[in-house]
Structure 1
Amino acid sequence: MNTITGSPRDDPPPRLVESVVTSDDTLRRAAALGDTNAFAEILQRHGPSMFRYARRLLNDRGDAEEVVQDAFIAAWQAIPDFRGDSSLRTWLFTITGRKAIDLLRKKRPVPVDNDAFTSLAATGPDPGTHAGLLEALDAALAELPYLQRAVWLLREIEQMSYAEIATTLHTTPTVVRGQLARGRAALKERLKDWR
């Protein structure tokens, strides 16, 4: 009814266009019921950060791609059993970290020629280039123990809280704080030529 004339309205009511952002929890529940579109949205939303995390943990693009693919396969298979004790993002990072550890266990260390290593260490990256700084950071991260590297990446790159990191890595926030402090100190020492 048109309120001005009191007659029935011929034109349809105006439509409101809404931008609907589906929550992770809604996507998780839909994916648990077999909705592949919901799972595809999860892939789009969290895949890039999972890849970034795996890439820095493993220092190899191909290995990171393999780990993230394995993590998503594992997530698809396990999502019906996911109870939601943590956020979906934290759960996905936990799976990614486990897959990275599994891959590292499969790989055997490659013997390094000491002379080649010494000459490489003596030359180091060129401090005058931005690309050199990123290479130096990647090299310094690769030298950190796994837990320090994982904590640093989740905190500094992925901006996770201490509690989320603790859940992801199955440890406590206190351990996270300690590992982060040691990792930061080690990186500061290794990258002192870049200041």
Structure 2
Amino acid sequence: MRVAPRPSLTLEHSESTIDSCRRGDRAALERVLRVEAPAVERLLARMIGNAADVEDLLQEVMVAAMVGFATFRGHASVRTWLARIAVKTAYDHLRRPLRRERATLRLVASDGDLVAPAPEHVVDDQRLVERLHRHLDALSPKNRIALVLHVVEGRPMAEVAALMDATVAATKTRVFLGRRALLRRVKGDRTLCELLSGSTTSSGKEKQV
């Protein structure tokens, strides 16, 4: 069982709309961000998990985009630009001391319950992602985000590196360390083990998740 890949189709906004956004046209900004918000929310949900936090972080991303759209140069799509903002916002959130303290408490509470559910309970991809999120707090923020972007989102290493403003080599290391740590935690969950192990072939080449 694999997590469904992210949609590959994106809406191309017209140059006139983008120019209006750069000039601070609030109506144009709201139109563009309203279209892109669902994709940003899905990305945040996969990196963060907690629905209440995702809602707050989505607002942070949208505000940052409205303030910073004048700097958008069009070298990548609006969606990719927003994804970079979302990744940075998620990283800052995951590094907050209070949030890390709460995560530690959740880990202590759940460590004794790492057995996989019966196969009939694995009903869809969302349930699989939810099970994965139970263990992601064991990872450092950088390793967590890199792993989610590559393994769950199915993004190539080079794209993950660009979104995280890191080198490909550093990104590969983060994914490797994140995968190794999670495989130790989920060894009783065959489906999660397959997900975590299945993003590379035996020759080490990437394949789509």
Measure, in 1, the Cα distance between the counterparts of 2:104 and 2:132.
21
Counterpart residue number, 1:59:
49
Higher relative contact order (CA 8 A, sep 6+): 2
Measure, in 2, the Cα distance between the counterparts of 1:148 and 1:106.
16
Following superposition, the deviation at residue 190 of structure 1 comes to 2.4
**Which deviations, in whole Å up to 9, do the C-alpha atoms of 1:94-152 show, x marking residues without a partner?**
211222233344452249679x936x422335521227754431112222221121112
Aligned length: 173
1:189 is the counterpart of 2:184:
yes
Following superposition, the deviation at residue 50 of structure 1 comes to 1.8
| Aligned 8 A contact 1:125 1:136 in 2 | no
Counterpart residue number, 1:32:
22
Pairs within 5 Å for 1:110-129:
110=102, 117=108, 120-124=110-114, 126-128=116-118, 129=121
Instruction: Give TM-score scaled by structure 1 length.
Output: 0.71
| Aligned 8 A contact 2:114 2:188 in 1 | no
Pairing partner for 2:67 from 74, 77, 98 = 77
Counterpart residue number, 2:91:
101
- SS of the counterpart of 1:193? coil
- SS of the counterpart of 1:122? coil
Counterpart residue number, 2:157:
162
1:177 is the counterpart of 2:177:
no
Pairing partner for 1:46 from 27, 30, 36 = 36
Residue identity opposite 1:23 in structure 2: E
| Aligned 8 A contact 1:133 1:194 in 2 | no
The worse-fitting range, judged by mean Cα deviation, of 22-31 and 152-161 is 22-31
Residue identity opposite 1:74 in structure 2: A
1:23 is the counterpart of 2:15:
no
Measure, in 1, the Cα distance between the counterparts of 2:39 and 2:57.
13
Measure, in 2, the Cα distance between the counterparts of 1:181 and 1:106.
24
Residue identity opposite 2:108 in structure 1: F
**Which deviations, in whole Å up to 9, do the C-alpha atoms of 1:141-188 show, x marking residues without a partner?**
222221121112222333333232212111011212222222233333
Measure, in 2, the Cα distance between the counterparts of 1:36 and 1:63.
26
| Aligned 8 A contact 2:136 2:144 in 1 | yes
| Aligned 8 A contact 1:71 1:92 in 2 | yes
Two-structure CA RMSD over aligned residues (Å): 3.1
Flag structure 1 segments of 5+ consecutive residues without an equivalent. Answer: 1-20
Change (3 A) 1:104 1:149: closer
The worse-fitting range, judged by mean Cα deviation, of 67-76 and 36-45 is 36-45
Measure, in 1, the Cα distance between the counterparts of 2:95 and 2:177.
24
Residue identity opposite 1:184 in structure 2: R
Counterpart residue number, 1:6:
none
Counterpart residue number, 1:150:
145
Change (3 A) 1:41 1:111: closer
Counterpart residue number, 2:77:
87
**Which deviations, in whole Å up to 9, do the C-alpha atoms of 1:49-99 show, x marking residues without a partner?**
322222233331111111111111110111112223443223212211222
Larger Rg: 1
Aligned identity (percent) is 26
